[in-house]
Amino acid sequence: MKYLALVLRSLFRSKRRTVLTVLFLAVSVFLVAILQSVLATLEGFANNPNASSRVAVRHKVSITNLLPLRYGDWIRQQPEVEAAMGLQWFGGVYQDPRNFFANFAAEPEAIVTIFKEEIVTYSEAEFRDFLRDRNGCIVGQSLAAKYGWKVGDVVPLKGTIFPMDPRLTVRGIWRSRRQVDEQALYFHHKLLEESVPWMEGRVGAFWVRIKHPDDVPAFIERADRHFSDAVEPTQSETENAFQLNFLKMMGDIATIIHAITMAVLAALLIVTANTMAMAIRERTTEVAVFRAMGFTSWQVLGILLAEGILLALLGGAGGIGLAWLGAGLIKTGLGSAIPWLVDFAIPKETLLLCLHATMGLGFLSTLLPAWRAVRRPIVDGLRAL
């Protein structure tokens, strides 16, 4: 600590250079923290611990191919199965294409059983009204609050995949533990069958709840073997695997984010190394004077390394502060467009990783020029006096 004043004075010898470097570091750390947090949020969506007992049975060829609804009768007869329902992504638009949220046509009786970890609180009376009303729907609390829907309101959807524009009456609103689980709307699959003739007796996938998670592999193997010779063969997978495949339709997000992160870290290393090399090169004579006054090479090396680490620490702390302040804005802005990010947050692990990474980069970028400076003969450094 006795050398702290010396380190600070040396660090701010060129205030403009130091401030610009700190700003660059802060923006870079902010970018890395946000990108890694987006990736963590999406991976959390596709690795839901509550989905360990759920299986999606879809067409083997493609997620967009349809299956016969009669497959559901065989699925429900299996000893491992607690409940099953047909589920079809509808993809309707509410008022404006930017108002994106998940909306499904479903066989409604088993919804609350299959998704009981997500549909935690709901009214039994409202759910019975939903079952009786062919034009009814149920929605999550966050989604209803976003658009100001109440029970009894009419929600018009414009079909983008199917040639129908249903006018649905909100019959129930459920609550969940996470906002992301409240970003969905379900209506009757019968309504879709009646409005779209080629959907009669067809569905996109079956969502199946298994009584015990240990029985999931056995059910998956038997179901796919049973339908392997059918005209519409199946591919059964856990819900998390299904969600991961769905996210991959948007591209290999993880690879893109990791590539950007590596590029940013490389730029950080180059900029910080260049800054410290310039700062140390300008003080060749000063280093020689320190050593002539009795400072050991290791003491001088420690002072120079402390300067580089402190510079990186200031930039890293600034970036973490920006990320923390911007998390709420990103959650509000992106969460409205991408419902999977409605629970966006920056994990503490990500913040610590960014802080440690910047300090490590500060050390690495300073080590080589500092080592060269202290290894230079004292006489060579004093010649400039």
Taking a C-beta distance cutoff of 8 angstroms, is the pair 271, 87 a contact?
no
The last residue of a domain, from among 196, 231, 266: 231
pLDDT band at 47 (very low <50, low <70, confident <90, very high): low
306 confidence band (pLDDT: 50, 70, 90): confident
- Look at residue 50 and tell me if it is in a domain: no
Instruction: Specify the pLDDT at position 317.
Output: 85
User: How confident is the model over 337-358, as pLDDT tens digits?
Assistant: 555 666 677 778 888 888 888 8
The model's confidence at residue 12, banded by pLDDT at 50, 70 and 90, is low
Kindly state whether residues 72 and 181 are assigned to the same domain: yes
| Cα distance between residue 285 and residue 290, in whole Å | 9
Closest listed residue to residue 314, CA positions, set 24, 2, 13: 24
Nearest 5°: the CA angle 204, 130, 74 is 40
User: Domain residues for 208?
Assistant: 66-231
283/245 Cα distance (integer angstroms): 56
Instruction: Pick the more confident residue, 32 or 76.
Output: 76
pTM: 0.69
Structural domain ending residue among the three candidates 198, 231, 264: 231
Do 216 and 264 belong to one domain? no
Residue 59 domain-assigned? no
Q: Which residues contact 205 (CB under 8 A, 6 or more apart)?
A: 56, 57, 58, 59, 63, 67, 86, 87, 88, 242
Flag whether 61 is in a domain.
no
Q: Is the dihedral of CA 133, 135, 140, 145 positive or negative?
A: negative
* Residues 260 and 360 reside in one and the same domain: yes
Last residue of a domain, one of 177, 201, 231: 231
Are residue 112 and residue 149 in the same domain, yes or no? yes
The rounded distance, in Å, linking the Cα atoms of 192 and 105 is: 7
C-alpha–C-alpha distance, residues 133 and 123, integer Å: 15
Both 92 and 218 in a single domain? yes
Q: Are strands 136-140 and 184-188 parallel, antiparallel or unpaired?
A: antiparallel
Tokens of 205: 């996938």
In a domain, 125, yes or no: yes
Largest CA distance in the chain: 95
Percent of residues, the chain, with pLDDT higher than 70: 82
| Residue 10's pLDDT band (cuts 50, 70, 90) | low
Residue 104, in any domain of the structure: yes
Tokens 């692990």 sit on residue: 349
> What pLDDT band is residue 87 in, cutting at 50, 70 and 90?
very high
CB neighbours (10 Å) of residue 23?
14
Q: How many CA atoms lie within 13 A of 244 on its CB side?
A: 13
- The rounded mean pLDDT for the chain is 82
What is the pLDDT at residue 119? 87
* pLDDT (0 to 100) of residue 213: 85
Q: How far apart are CA 7 and CA 110, in angstroms?
A: 67
Question: Please, which residues have CB within 8 angstroms of residue 56's CB and are 6 or more apart in sequence?
Answer: 205, 206, 207, 208, 236, 237, 238, 239, 241, 242
- pLDDT of 212-234, one tens digit each? 888 888 999 999 999 998 889 99
**What angle (nearest 5°) sits at the alpha carbon of residue 180, between those of residues 174 and 183?**
55
Q: Would residue 318 count as lying in a domain?
A: yes
The percent of residues in the chain predicted with pLDDT above 90, rounded, is 32
Predicted local confidence at residue 190, as pLDDT? 94
Predicted pLDDT at 37: 78
SS3 of residue 151 by DSSP: coil
Does 278 score more than 90 pLDDT?
no
Co-location of 76 and 34 in the same domain: no
Domain count of the chain?
2
The predicted structure's pLDDT at residue 187: 95
Are residue 123 and residue 258 in the same domain, yes or no? no
Output the pLDDT for position 305.
Answer: 78
Q: Is residue 242 part of a domain?
A: no
Report whether pLDDT(210) > 60.
yes
Domain check: are 93 and 177 in the same one?
A: yes
- 171 and 290 both lie in a single domain: no
Distance, CA of 159 to CA of 167 (rounded, Å): 11
Same domain, 187 and 266: no
Please say whether the beta carbons of 108 and 156 come within 8 A: no
Rounded CA separation 371/303 (Å): 11
Evaluate whether residue 9 is within a structural domain. yes
pLDDT above 80 for 146:
yes
**Same-domain check for residues 13 and 73:** no
Neighbours of 256 (CB within 10 A): 12
Same-domain check for residues 220 and 264: no
DSSP state string for 284-321: HHHHHHHHHTT--HHHHHHHHHHHHHHHHHHHHHHHHH
Q: Residue 203 and residue 192: Cα distance in Å, rounded?
A: 10
The pLDDT value given to residue 117: 84
Q: Residue 235's Cα: distance from chain center in Å? A: 26
Q: What is the mean pLDDT of residues 174-180?
A: 85
CA 144 – CA 119 distance, rounded (Å):
14
Kindly tell me if the per-residue pLDDT of 384 is higher than 60: no
